[in-house]
Amino acid sequence: AQSVTQLGSHVSVSEGALVLLRCNYSSSVPPYLFWYVQYPNQGLQLLLKYTTGATLVKGINGFEAEFKKSETSFHLTKPSAHMSDAAEYFCAVSGEYGNKLVFGAGTILRVKS
Amino acid sequence: EAGVAQSPRYKIIEKRQSVAFWCNPISGHATLYWYQQILGQGPKLLIQFQNNGVVDDSQLPKDRFSAERLKGVDSTLKIQPAKLEDSAVYLCASSLDNYNEQFFGPGTRLTVL
């Protein structure tokens, strides 16, 4: 069965600082990997996804993530945090059963001015 | 293109009462999903429909939860009777088919007192 572990339920960064949100996965098949963002009282919005090909994936709002098979990781980064990035971020994996998504517990990102 | 619509947005009920949620997916999307998101956790898939047939309901508590998608478009999720632990956000998502990106609605926040 597939699973996702997000290290750190809360991450706090200063505005302009690097954002790093960690995600490790477990999968018995080649995984498809996703990062979603959820703003308060809203649904999930896809930031980026990895399916096949290039392991460095660029998404919306300046975010990117790198698939590292040897480390079973898919960490999310952004060079410079903005106040508008404050939200909850979810890493997810699929591939074992079509596009059925298995989510991590989420990381709340706080951006300090 | 209109997104996934859900109603109501908020619902407060007493335990042992019944409640129903409604979802209207993106036009043309054959696959519809219901997720339960408990505070502090990632979304968990409850049920997946392909047109009006159930693809996966392995995590649906069938003694109290039911869902239908009679005409392969709109869907309703019902809880009867509700328990305190059912307090959560219920997210609906849709996709073109079982192998494409899921688009999420804003969710219904249920509070069971």
Side-chain-side CA neighbours of A5 within 13 Å: the count stands at 8
From chain B residues 60-99, the ones with a CB under 8 A of any chain A CB are 91, 93, 95, 98-99
What does the pLDDT read at residue A52? 86
Taking CB atoms and an 8 Å limit, are A106 and B45 in contact across chains?
A: no
Side-chain-side CA neighbours of A99 within 13 Å: the count stands at 21
What does the pLDDT read at residue B6? 97
What does the pLDDT read at residue B68? 96
> Which chain B residue is nearest to residue A44, measuring alpha carbons?
B104
The pLDDT tens digits of the residues spanning A3-46 come to: 999 999 999 999 999 999 999 999 888 889 999 999 988 889 99
Which residues does B62 contact at the CB level (< 8 Å), separation at least 6? none
> Which chain A residue is nearest to residue B95, measuring alpha carbons?
A99
Element holding A88 (H helix, E strand) = strand A87-94
From chain A residues 76-95, the ones with a CB under 8 A of any chain B CB are 90, 92
Read off the DSSP letter of residue B41. Answer: S
Q: What percent of chain A has pLDDT over 90?
A: 81
Interface contact A47, partner B, CB < 8 A: no
Low-confidence ranges of chain B (pLDDT < 50): none
What tokens does A98 get?
A: 């079509």
Nearest CA-CA distance, residue B58 and chain A, Å: 12
Strands (E), chain B: 5-7, 10-13, 19-24, 31-37, 44-50, 53-56, 65-68, 75-79, 88-95, 103-104, 108-112
What tokens does B10 get?
A: 């908020």
Read off the DSSP letter of residue A27. Answer: -
Which residues in chain B are contacts of A2 at CB distance < 8 A?
Answer: none
Taking CB atoms and an 8 Å limit, are B48 and A100 in contact across chains?
A: yes
Average pLDDT over residues A98-111: 92
Average pLDDT over residues A70-83: 96
Between A and B, how many residue pairs show a Cβ–Cβ distance under 8 A?
A: 52
What does the pLDDT read at residue B1? 64
Of A41, A42, A101, the CB nearest to B102: A101
